[in-house]
Structure 1
């Protein structure tokens, strides 16, 4: 197996004591030679942009995402299979006290990610439900593939409190580091601005896990991704984010209206 052996009970204890929500950071997550092969299989940013989706919105920009597993080079396809395997899902269920975790073969929002210089991802909580499959989103897993990543290059994944006032953790995306955390109404997280030199990118692989059963205490609210500004982002929080939200609403309403007209 290419995931290094770990003590699930010890990790479970760490998760139970984590703040501000259940989370885990594991360094040296994969066997070193396998992690090297995964890194070598990553396409360039330009190649990836022709294969997947590139983001250029206010809240998320300078990033390309490839979710179609049929396009993954074999070492990356193998990583995807490992993270989706029943054995690993059972380990995660034990560690996070979430029974019957399911993987997502469609990798909605997941898969191969690359972020170039000046790219970023604002603080947010993820969508919580897949309507078409009636599944509740429960866990995020992120594995990083950035050798010799310098602290000044940013790109840290941050875990914030529910009011987005205090950042509890800021993990650099160093090579072979894995960050796992629960998806919930308070699991605010984001990525600081990437400031790597031209020709470099922040590389990661993301997977998400679901359950058919609703989380304990769920009130029935279904929501898409919710963004919030950091405390030092006053203009973005008071002006730019509301404007972006309104723009998305207008586009979505126009799209739905066109579909309604065509159906008549």
Structure 2
């Protein structure tokens, strides 16, 4: 068992404080950046070593997606609650069930003022909600080109593979897609005139703002059995607007308040 050493802060504060916000916002075809060294070397090593066990994940296979896009097959693990179901038996991990280093990291993430200050400036928002999920990809898995739902403001993808565990020829790079040459909403990579690849190895991460032109994807993995593409998603979403109470309920509330 690993000793409970507290590694906070996990993030490279100098990188956060020197980030060029305007260059990010000006980037085409939409704002994105492939960060190197977002995590400290010790932080990355510990989180990579104690990545949540595969037994905690649920397998997603053949789940229907919008516009006829191909299924996003993978192993999936949500933090605290899932957008896919209410069950807590599989595919959801509670804070106290995580390896200790991940518990420490989640706490650090949620209290990291430098990180949240940067996110607000990059995504041009004052408020947001955050949810978290781990993905594990295996041979044949892909993410067909798509734009995220309008509920999402942006996403920060932290990759947990190294040159020792993953070979570039197996694929797995997140593709930044531009110059779309079809009206289809389920295009292929070949339908784009501009394709850039994000590096996913050795403490890299991919941060992007969701826009109507924010097309991205991952081509099918060609890794051998037993090799896995591993990542952790930090997903920023617009706060949900609470519905106004009905007129009858408002009337009853006033009566209660004024008694």
Count of residue correspondences: 198
Structure 1 residues 186, 83: closer, same or farther in 2, change over 3 A?
farther
Partner of 1:112: 134
* Cα distance in structure 2, aligned partners of 1:83 and 1:125: 26
The match for 2:47 among 33, 38, 49 is 38
Equivalents in 2 of 1:147, 1:9: separation in Å? Answer: 25
Return closer, same or farther for 1:82/1:11 CA change in 2, 3 Å cut-off: farther
Gaps of 5+ in 2: 1-8, 63-68, 81-93, 181-190, 242-259
- Counterpart of 1:14 in structure 2 is 23
Establish whether residue 72 from structure 1 lines up as the match of residue 89 from structure 2: no
Contact 1:84 1:103 (8 Å CA) reproduced: no
Structure 2: distance between partners of 1:126 and 1:162: 17
1:171-229: CA deviation from partner (whole Å, max 9, x where unpaired): 13212101100012221111121122221100100011123499xxxxxxxxxxxxxxx
Please say if residues 55 and 61 of structure 1, whose CA atoms lie closer than 8 Å, have aligned partners that are also in contact.
yes
Structure (1 or 2) with the greater helix fraction: 1
**Any residues of structure 2 matched to 1:21-32 within 5 Å, and which?**
21-32=30-41
- Number of the residue aligned with 1:150: 167
**Which residue in 2 is equivalent to 1:217?**
none
Q: Deviations over 1:112-145 (max 9, x none)?
A: 111012211111111222xxxxxxx211000001
Which residue in the other structure is 1:181 paired with? 208
When normalised by structure 1's length, the TM-score is 0.67
CA distance in 1, matches of 2:203, 2:77: 19
How far apart are the structure 2 equivalents of 1:178 and 1:194? 18
Compared CA separation, residues 22 and 86, structure 1 to 2 (3 A) = same
Residue equivalent to 2:237: 210
Would you say the 8 A contact 1:158–1:167 is kept in 2? no
* 1:127 aligned onto 2:149: yes
CA RMSD of aligned residues (A): 2.4
Change (3 A) 1:141 1:39: same
Relative to the length of structure 2, the TM-score reads: 0.69
Based on CA coordinates, which of the two structures has the bigger radius of gyration?
Answer: 2
Deviation, structure 1 residue 97: 4.9
